[in-house]
Every structure is written in structure tokens, then in C-alpha cells.
Amino acid sequence: MSAGIPLNQNVINMEYAVRGPLYHKAAELRSKGRNIIPCNIGNPQALGQTPISFYRQALSLLEYPPHIKRERTLKGQAPALKGMDNQEWISDYVLDFSEDFLTKMETGMGAYTDSKGPRFIREAVSRFIDKRDGVTPDRGVPSIPDHIFLTDGASEGIKNIMELLISDGNDGIMIPIPTYPLYSATIARLGGAQVNYYPDEDSGWTLNREILEESFSRAKKDNVRVKAIVVINPANPTGAILDRKSIKEIIEFSGEKGLVIFADEVYQDNLYGSEFMSFAKALGDNRDIPLFSFHSASKGFYGECGHRGGYFEVRNPPGSPGGDNGFIDILFKQASVNLCSNTIGQALIYLLSSPPPEGSEPYDQFNREKQGILADLYEKAVMIKDSFKEMKAVECFGRVGAMYLFPRINHLPGGKTDFDYCMSLLEETGLTTVNGSGFGQRAGTHHLRIAFLPPKDTLEDVLPRWIEFHNNYIRD
Amino acid sequence: MSAGIPLNQNVINMEYAVRGPLYHKAAELRSKGRNIIPCNIGNPQALGQTPISFYRQALSLLEYPPHIKRERTLKGQAPALKGMDNQEWISDYVLDFSEDFLTKMETGMGAYTDSKGPRFIREAVSRFIDKRDGVTPDRGVPSIPDHIFLTDGASEGIKNIMELLISDGNDGIMIPIPTYPLYSATIARLGGAQVNYYPDEDSGWTLNREILEESFSRAKKDNVRVKAIVVINPANPTGAILDRKSIKEIIEFSGEKGLVIFADEVYQDNLYGSEFMSFAKALGDNRDIPLFSFHSASKGFYGECGHRGGYFEVRNPPGSPGGDNGFIDILFKQASVNLCSNTIGQALIYLLSSPPPEGSEPYDQFNREKQGILADLYEKAVMIKDSFKEMKAVECFGRVGAMYLFPRINHLPGGKTDFDYCMSLLEETGLTTVNGSGFGQRAGTHHLRIAFLPPKDTLEDVLPRWIEFHNNYIRD
């Protein structure tokens, strides 16, 4: 048949390793009954993480509002009911919260919203950002609700803004290597130029001026006009947390070179004791550098990946020094072609911007769940890191952040790649990881990315088998 | 500041009238307290349409599964409860349905799914398509679950497939004029060539060979390589339903010219008595013509726009005569960059593919709600059509379908455009419509699109005021 229809070569060339051959092999083994441990993506609830009760109780009521009133009636008769635990009632706080949400939402969950998302949700996000960054009437630069866009996951916004910046193959975007493949794939799809920069692995994936300049001047030599720099902090796939010095370096560099900053901060809650420094805060009262900051409901302690809630915030929109809204209007038009992001994802962004306050009924449970998940994640990261010590020629750098470890395998048997390693690891142990080459890496190095998400007893079972596999494999 | 960053001209050029100046003016008037009747978009629940109970009860339970068991416990004690109507309990059918869904969903609503969406949902969609098209073991061509992709609304799939077909300004897509602006906007964004064809308004927006050939040869003269043809049936913005002859004509034409067909069938439930003929059914056992059919949870009688559920089905994927999966693999890779569509939208697609069977507990209510909404929509369309008869120089063609009427205004005062008309109509009556030029129209004609969604008493109030406005306006 129409074998003759030529397709867009940019899309054909685009690579996306996270759902590439290893993903398909794992699916195949699983369909054959093999026990597969999917550490290849950051998908906590697929590995048994329980949703935050507060969020889900509210979403459940938003989908079926008649149950708000019914719950109040039922609770009034609770003493007459047998076999019911007191815990099983929805707290008045959540009932009021949901009712209030629906009042503000006006048209309910089933209607398209404004293309940017409802204003009251963007206002809540704005308050969340300002609180996180310690903005007070006397200190810091407040975020602007009209410069916040709700999106289906963080990916949608990233893609739209990149599309706006890339006109042809001479438009370049600096991305860290290794990178989250959304960035390399999107640049490839748009036919832009991918300009690699290489955080310094051995010093914990930090950055300095030399690294950035090297990348920029390499691009210039190739006649590439660099327009933006992408930073992922905490990083994916390395899991490393950027230090303040690196952040300041990027901002100074971007100011000098006239670059737009993409700050992918979807792991801002996955810090395990380290302090989070947002680019918005670090930017301070700079009025020149355009900054796009991304966040989502998919990661953090909540891990609501499937709901595809996300947002981005714009500071210093390009081409609008005197309050001209031209750039924001174009973003609005782009968002409008998609009509709006999904309302349940929007509600989740509202929920994570509005945690129950201290003293409210759901506070204790919420906090217990939150802290429990974060503590558990950290312990699992440590378990895996510890097992690297028993693997020959493995090193792992950087502070623990995000949901990933990205160990370097310093020795592989002749001719083998890290892809071969990950495929054998999958086949022998069921543990699914992603090869470092899927994210890009310095030539001659080998890595893999593992999400530290499986239950501890699963790790207790698989880690010794991995160690054994590894020490056999690299001996070959 | 960075006024110097040049942006992608394709995105800047892109137009999207549905959320253009009229949309913004309506928002402005509304914020000033004016009563606005938003007939500018097909957003039923924004105009008071009640969600289908069956769908929302299930979604509510999927978000908070502990309530499945709790509901069973509570129902067991129903006699002890005062002030509860029997109707307020969730039926066992819905409880079992939700439990079964979650068993099949395995990782719950909070996890990323397969990039195409879970297989069991795609299987349900496949059964739905085959049932709709009367496919039996002896008759018709069954759909293939692996050729079905779940998406965030129908828009996502349309955009991805267009992106795959358009490489440069010589790649053309035939679209009907007037058109749903997603198509013109997407072609503009991708830098492709928009090739207009003009259904014949006066004969009810039908098509014939001449119309299609004229469009094709015009493109050829401009050195445009036409790759695909878009058909929207029932149509947006005209609301017209294509007759079988037009459908056959498009298929024959596409076969001869080697075109891919985009069949946008999101209004397939909005026929009000006419019978729906899908392109998949009309294609029959043709193995040559690539067909992409789109559907969503946003329209129909359900109108769950905000949940952004959608799917597309591929028949005869390009370049894969011998079962080669190349094209499907590329679509999978595209979907993977977005990870997956939102799970609640996916669940809605499953729900609308799996209506409660006759005799089941929710059947009567479901059917009552469904038929009630459809009957109401039709009555409202007729009310509006009738009022056109009292407006001078207004004609409206085609059978009533979708959610729109697209009357032609045969006379406007000197220098005035249909945009001017719609703006004045909005300012004087609060009724928000979209000017015909926002969708494209034959040069020298004037139209507007109105969604027949407001409650009847609202129409009873506004229609006389519109008639008065109209007859004054065109006299000027």
C-alpha cells in the first residue's frame, strides 16, 4: 500500500530510550510470566506506592459532588452503623475543601476551562511558589498568576515553549548530558540544534563557567545560535542536586549570552534533607533573563504520574520589557489549540499547592504519609548505593535527589555496551533499568539509570542477585 | 530585555479564532458582571448540562478505591439509616464495574500507563467500534486493539499524525472550509500547506468529485504534494452530517490520489435521528487507503470536555503492507515522548465504550439521561433554527448534527464583517458566538457559529433579543 508516503524525517530520527527496546523486552518477559521489577521509569505507584489520601478523597468528591452532601448525612448517623471504623469517614475539612473548590470551579470538572487553567488555581500556585521561595511583602519577587499556565504534565509546556524558540537547524538549545530524553527528542522533532554541556560527574555533577563556555563556543563555531539552556534540578537521570554555586553560574552565564532558562524542577520535593533552591528565587530581582520553571504532580512524594497534572511559570517573558503581553499571548494561543489541560490534573496542582494546614483534621495523616514516603525513598536509595560498593568498578556521584541513581560502570568486557549490560541484567534478574547511552553520556563512559522505587523486600531480593550478576558480567 | 530573541514565525502566524478577541471580550464583560451566554464553544457542562451519573460514580470510585468496599458495608446497613433515598446508593453493578476496572488497570489511576494506553481499554474500544459498525465474524473488517491509541482529547492524536506527514511547505493537507481551527492552526504551526476544499453549502454541505478535484489540482499547480484529506463528520463548525454519497466520493478520491484520510468523528453520537456512517465502515475491506479515525469523550451526550479523553484508530497504516509495524512503532515513539494520556480520560473512554447493558441496574437511569440530553439538544437546535426565519437575509443549510448551527448572513451593512456582527451581538445581548471568518469561508460570504447548548429558558430570553438586534443591525 502507500509505502510511498514519505514521513517527517525529524520524527523518525527522534530517539526515546526510556520506552525503547528495554521497555519492550520487559513487557515481553512479563507477558511470559517473568517477575519484572520496573525501575526503568519514575513511576512510583506502579511499584506499589500508595496515593496520598487527602488528594484522592478530594478528587473522588470532585468527580461525584452528590457524595459531599451524602457524606455529611451519613456521618450524622455514624453511631447507628456497625463495622465502620471512624477513620473511614471523610473529614469535614475535605468535604468543605471540595465544596469550596467546586464553587470556584463554577463549571465543574467536565467543562473545558480557560486555556491557561482556571485563575483561582493559578493564584494558588502563585501563593505556593511565593511561600516556597520565602517571598514576603518586603523581600523577593512575587510570581504573577497570569504568567502561570496549567498543562498536561510538565512535558506539554516544555514542548510548546521549545517550539516557539526553534525555527530551524541553526537554533540551538543547551541541554545537560546526560539528559532527560524529552529534551533531546523535542529538539530533534523540531529540527533544532542540540547543544550538549557536560556537568562534572566526579565532583557530583556540578557546573562551572568553563563547562558552559566550552559548550557555547563549540555551538558558535558550528554557526548555531544558542537561544536557551535547560537545567534539570534535582536532575534526571543522575538524581544529583545542583549546588548554589552552579545555579548562580548558570544565571550569570545566561544573562551574558542572552539565553532563556528552562528550569525543570519537577523533583523539587525529592531532596531527602538537602535544601531546594529554585531558579525563580536564585534569579532574584533580575528583570532581564527569561525564565520558564516547570513543575508537575507526577513526582515528589505524591507520584500521581497518571493524572498528568503540571504547570509552568514565566518570569521576564521575552520581548516584553514594558509590560507588553505579546509573548504571554502567544503562549495562550498555543495552549488554546489544545483547549485546556485535563481538569483532574488541574485539581491535583491545586491540591499540592494547598496542603492541609497544621491543626486541620487531615494534617496528621497527610504528614505521616508524606514523610513516610520520602523516608522510605531515601532508605531505598541508600540500600542501592550500598550495594554498588560490592560491585566491582562501579561509582556513583552526587547528592541523592529525584528518584534515580546513575552509577558509572568503569569497566565492561570487550565490545559490550551499557545497553548490553542492562539487557542482560533484565534477562537474568528481571530488574529493568535504562542504559546511560539512552540519556547521552561522555564518550567512553558507561552508566545506567535505576529508579529507587521498588518495595524494600523486592530490593532485598534483587540487589544480591544484581551484585552477583554484575561481578560475573564484568569478569567475562 | 531579550526583545532580541526571534520566535518561530509559524507559531506566531497560527490563528485560533475560537479563543480569540470574542473570547477575550466575553471574559472582560463577564468580569464586569454582564450576563454572558457562552455559545462560542462546544462545552456542554459549562452551560449546565449534567454529567452522566454512571460515568461519574465510577470515576469517583476509581479515584478512591477504599469507598468500593465501604459502600458495600454501608448498603448492608441501609435500613438503619434515616433520610437516605434508595437512589443515593451506588449500584452493585457500578461497584463491580469499578472493582473489575481496577483489577485490570493493575497499577491504579496514579501510574503512567503504556504509551498507547492500557491494552484492556484498547480492546474495549475495539469492541465498541466493531459493534457500532456492525462487524460480525462473517461481515466487515474488525478493528485491531494494537492500532488504537488513547490520547488527551482527540487533538493530541491529530497533531502527532500531522507532524509525521508534514516535512516542509510543499506537504499539503486538504481541509474542508469552513474548518475546525485545530487543523488550520496545526498545519500553520508545522509550516505545511493548507489546501482548502469547499463543501457545497447550498446543497447541505455535500461533496462531489468536482469539488475535490478542483482543490487537488489547484494544489498541484502550486507544487504542493497533497498527502492527506481531513473530513469532519458530523461537521464542525457547520453541524452538517455527510451523506453516504459524499463519503464514498472521498474514499474513491483518496484511493486514486494516494491520500491518507483523517476522519474526525468526535460528534458521532450527535446525530438526532440521522444514522451514523463511519469512515471505517465505509472503507470496508479496502487495504490500501490509510485511515485515521478520531473520537473523544468531550462531545456526544456525555460532554466530558474537561477530562480530555480521546482515542484514534489506524487502518491500513502507511508503509506496512506485509504487517510491517514501522508506522505504528513511530506513533508509539511519539506517544512515548508524552509518556501517556491522562488515566481519568482513559477511564472515560472505557466507560463510553462499555455502556451498562439492558437489564443492568444503572441501565434505565443511564438511558434516561442519555436520551434526555440528546432530545434537549435537538429541541434547542430547532428553536434557534426557527428564529433564523425571523431574521432577514439569514439562511442555514444541512441536516442538524454535532452541537452547532452555522447560519449564513446574506447581507451586512457596508464595510461590516461577520466579526463586527458577532462583536456587536456579544456587546448588545451577551450572546457569544464565533465569526465565520474564524473558520474560513468562501470569499464574499458571512457566517457565524453558534453552539446550541444553553438551557431552553436562556434561549427563550435571548433569541428574541437576537432577532431584534439582527434586524436592526443589517438595516444600518
Residues A102-147 have pLDDT tens digits of 999 999 999 999 999 999 999 999 999 999 999 999 999 999 999 9
Q: Using the beta-carbon criterion (under 8 Å), do B330 and A7 form an inter-chain contact?
A: yes
Tell me what pLDDT residue A321 has.
Answer: 47
Better-predicted residue by pLDDT, A11 or B219: B219
Spatial separation of the C-alpha atoms in residues A239 and A275, rounded to whole Å = 14
- Tell me the pLDDT band of B4, cut-offs 50, 70 and 90: low
Distance of CA A401 to the CA centre of its chain: 12
Per-residue pLDDT, averaged over A86-115, amounts to: 94
Out of A113, A320, A342, whose CB is closest to B342? A342
Tell me what pLDDT residue B458 has.
Answer: 96
Cα torsion angle, B109, B44, B357, B283, sign: negative
> Is pLDDT of A82 > 80?
no
Per-residue pLDDT, averaged over A211-222, amounts to: 97
Distance of CA A263 to the CA centre of its chain: 11
Q: Using the beta-carbon criterion (under 8 Å), do A57 and B64 form an inter-chain contact?
A: yes
Assigned C-alpha cell, B173? 493537507
Mutation for testing the B interface, residue in A52, A333, A337 having most B CBs under 10 Å: A337
Burial of residue B32 (number of CB atoms within 10 Å: 0-12, 13-18, 19+): exposed
| Of B79-88, B180-189, B201-210, B373-382, minimum mean pLDDT range | B79-88
- Tell me the pLDDT band of A322, cut-offs 50, 70 and 90: very low
Spatial separation of the C-alpha atoms in residues B344 and B366, rounded to whole Å = 20
Assigned C-alpha cell, A27? 513487557
Per-residue pLDDT, averaged over B97-107, amounts to: 96
Q: Using the beta-carbon criterion (under 8 Å), do A342 and B166 form an inter-chain contact?
A: no
Whether ipTM tops 0.90, in short, is yes
* A293 bridge partner residues: A263, A313
Buried b (16+ CB within 10 A) or exposed e, A319-353: bbeeeeeebbebbbbbbbbbbbbbbbbbbbbbbbb
Look up residue B82 and give its DSSP letter.
S
Out of A56, A73, A77, whose CB is closest to B63? A56
- Within 8 A of B165 by CB-CB distance, chain A residues are 5, 7-8
**Mean pLDDT of all residues belonging to chain A:** 93
Q: Using the beta-carbon criterion (under 8 Å), do B14 and A333 form an inter-chain contact?
A: yes
Residues carrying CATH 3.90.1150.10, chain B: 9-48+366-473
Distance from CA of B200 to the nearest CA of A (A): 27
Mutation for testing the B interface, residue in A52, A88, A190, A344 having most B CBs under 10 Å: A344
Q: B333: part of which helix (H) or strand (E)?
A: helix B326-337
- Within 8 A of A26 by CB-CB distance, chain B residues are none
Residues carrying CATH 3.40.640.10, chain B: 119-353
Q: Using the beta-carbon criterion (under 8 Å), do B112 and A156 form an inter-chain contact?
A: no
Distance from CA of B208 to the nearest CA of A (A): 24
Tell me what pLDDT residue A13 has.
Answer: 82
Distance from CA of A307 to the nearest CA of B (A): 5
Q: Specify the CATH number for B9-48+366-473; select among 3.40.50.300, 3.90.580.10, 3.90.1150.10, 1.10.10.10.
A: 3.90.1150.10
Residue among B236, B248, B243 at smallest CA distance from B206: B243
State residue A361 phi and psi, 5-degree precision: -55, -50
A119-353 in CATH: which number?
3.40.640.10
- Tell me the pLDDT band of B322, cut-offs 50, 70 and 90: very low
> Following DSSP, what letter does each residue of B277-321 receive, concatenated?
--HHHHHTT--SS-EEEEEESSSTTT--GGG-EEEEEEES-TT-T
Distance from CA of A392 to the nearest CA of B (A): 34
Minimum Cα–Cα distance from A330: chain B residue: B12
Out of A303, A327, A340, whose CB is closest to B110? A303
Strand extents, DSSP E, B318-443: 394-395, 404-405, 408-409, 431-432, 434-435
Q: Using the beta-carbon criterion (under 8 Å), do A1 and B290 form an inter-chain contact?
A: yes
Spatial separation of the C-alpha atoms in residues A419 and A398, rounded to whole Å = 23
- Tell me the pLDDT band of A320, cut-offs 50, 70 and 90: low
Do A454 and A380 contact (CB within 8 A), yes or no? Answer: yes
Q: Using the beta-carbon criterion (under 8 Å), do B2 and A153 form an inter-chain contact?
A: no
Spatial separation of the C-alpha atoms in residues A113 and A108, rounded to whole Å = 9
Distance from CA of B236 to the nearest CA of A (A): 15
pTM (2 d.p.):
0.95
